[in-house]
Amino acid sequence: MMPDLGKYADAVLSAYAVSLVLLVLLVAVSLRAARRARTELDEIEGRRHGG
């Protein structure tokens, strides 16, 4: 399933791992920011409409 990477296997696999971790972090930070923005927007809209 996985190609033979030879002497570069460690470098390639660690690069894949770092890339995967960075992608997961980016998604987590984006979701957190979206949740925070939604909460702030709901608060502002509630005040604006007399809630």
Q: Which of 44, 50, 12, 9 is nearest to 36 (CA)?
A: 44
- Answer for the pair 38, 30: CB distance below 8 angstroms, yes or no: no
Write down the pLDDT at residue 51. Answer: 59
pLDDT of 13-50, one tens digit each? 999 999 999 999 999 999 999 999 999 999 998 887 76
d(Cα 51, Cα 42) in Å, to the nearest integer? 10
34 or 1, greater pLDDT: 34
Q: What are phi and psi of 40, to 5 degrees?
A: -65, -40
Write down the pLDDT at residue 17. Answer: 98
